[in-house]
Amino acid sequence: GAVVSQHPSWVICKSGTSVKIECRSLDFQATTMFWYRQFPKQSLMLMATSNEGSKATYEQGVEKDKFLINHASLTLSTLTVTSAHPEDSSFYICSAKGGSSYNEQFFGPGTRLTVL
């Protein structure tokens, strides 16, 4: 149980375009979903937290107009990187918590974004 999927697993896009990443909890209803960013050989940094049906809460320094988060249902959250630039290239990972293991977070496999 507690499986989280992400799609796509990797994406290459041109500078100036927008990219949408999906995060789904497959076998539980996620009360809260989280989006992280990880640069090479570094740790995970929390970008934002979202609950279904409400606006996301962004961490300090994260541009909410650039990283749009939509938490449409208890099993789906999306992150849209708008007007992507090369410095947005990174590994984006989502996590979800809920179900029987209420306080434990489970992570998706990540999405590697490369902006040319």
Partner 1 sequence: GIQVEQSPPDLILQEGANSTLRCNFSDSVNNLQWFHQNPWGQLINLFYIPSGTKQNGRLSATTVATERYSLLYISSSQTTDSGVYFCAAAMFSGGYNKLIFGAGTRLAVHP
- Can you give the binding site for partner 1, defined by CB under 8 A? 2, 32, 34, 38, 42-46, 49, 57, 91, 93, 95, 101, 103-107, 109-110, 112
Residue 42 CB partners (closer than 8 Å, separation 6+): none
**C-beta of 109: minimal distance to partner 1 in Å?**
5
Which DSSP string corresponds to 41-80?
TS-EEEEEEEETTS--EEPTT--TTTEEEEEEETTEEEEE
58 or 75, CB closer to partner 1?
58
**C-beta of 21: minimal distance to partner 1 in Å?**
14
44 or 68, CB closer to partner 1?
44
50 or 78, CB closer to partner 1?
50
**C-beta of 16: minimal distance to partner 1 in Å?**
26
| CA-to-CA dists, residue 29 to 35, 38, 95, angstroms | 17, 25, 12
Closest to 37 measured CA to CA, from 67, 57, 8: 67
Closest to 85 measured CA to CA, from 58, 105, 66: 66
17 or 59, CB closer to partner 1?
59
**C-beta of 28: minimal distance to partner 1 in Å?**
13
